[in-house]
C-alpha cells in the first residue's frame, strides 16, 4: 500500500509500480480534476504541485512521489485564481484549465505581480487548444483584483 499526501489529507493507494500519478489520482482516488490529454509530458493538462513545484503527473510514477505534498486543482478551490479565470472569461472548453490554474498558483506564490513576460515564461508548458492565452494572461495578471 502506497501512502500519498494530497491536498493536506492522507490517502492509501493500491498503485502498482509503473502506474502514473495522474492515473492514480483520477482512476483510483477519484480526483478527476487533474486531466490527461497528451499523456506524454507535452501539454501540461495533468499539472499538479509536488511540494509546490509544478509537475506533469502523466509522466510521474506514483511510487516516486514519496513524502512530497501533492496539490491538485481540488486543493485550490478557494484560490483567487479560480475567480480570476471566470471573471476574465479565460475558459472555453475548460480541459486545460485545471493545469493552467495549478501552474499559475505556483507562479503567483513565488511572484505575486508577474510581468507579461514572466507569465508567458512560467506558463509556457501549459497548452490551450482553444487559444485562450490572452485571457489566461489577463487572469493571472489580475488574480488579486
Tell me which residues touch ligand FES (CB under 6 A). Answer: 36-39, 41-46, 56, 58, 91-97, 128-130, 132
Give just the sign of the alpha carbon dihedral 76, 46, 126, 60: positive
Residue 11 or 95 having the CB closest to ligand FES: 95
Nearer to ligand FES, 46 or 62 (CB): 46
Q: What contacts 26, CB < 8 A, 6 or more positions away?
A: 32, 34, 36
The residues facing 4 across adjacent strands are 11
Distance set, CA 6 to CA 12, 29, 65 (Å): 10, 10, 11
Cβ of residue 20: shortest distance to ligand FES, in angstroms? 9
4 vs 56, beta carbon nearer ligand FES: 56
Give me the least distance between CB of 101 and ligand FES, in Å please: 11
Smallest gap, in angstroms, from Cβ of residue 111 to ligand FES?
23
Vertex 36: Cα angle to 24 and 143 (nearest 5): 105
Q: Which three cell numbers stand for residue 116?
A: 507579461
Nearer to ligand FES (CB atom), residue 8 or residue 18? 18
| Cβ at position 34, least distance to ligand FES in Å | 9
Q: How many CB atoms lie within 10 A of CB 16?
A: 12
Amino acid at each position: 500500500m502506497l501512502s500519498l499526501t494530497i491536498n493536506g489529507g492522507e490517502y492509501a493507494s493500491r498503485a502498482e509500480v509503473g502506474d502514473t500519478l495522474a492515473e492514480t489520482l483520477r482512476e483510483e482516488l477519484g480526483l478527476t480534476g487533474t486531466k490527461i490529454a497528451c499523456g506524454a509530458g507535452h501539454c501540461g493538462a495533468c499539472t499538479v504541485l509536488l511540494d509546490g513545484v509544478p509537475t506533469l503527473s502523466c509522466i510521474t510514477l506514483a511510487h516516486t512521489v514519496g513524502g512530497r505534498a501533492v496539490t491538485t486543482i481540488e486543493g485550490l478551490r478557494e484560490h483567487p485564481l479560480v475567480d480570476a479565470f471566470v471573471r476574465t472569461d479565460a475558459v472555453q472548453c475548460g480541459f486545460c484549465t485545471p493545469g493552467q490554474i495549478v501552474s499559475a498558483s505556483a507562479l503567483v506564490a513565488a511572484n505575486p505581480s508577474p510581468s507579461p513576460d514572466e507569465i508567458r515564461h512560467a506558463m509556457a508548458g501549459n497548452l490551450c487548444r482553444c487559444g485562450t492565452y490572452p485571457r489566461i494572461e489577463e487572469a493571472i495578471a489580475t488574480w488579486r483584483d
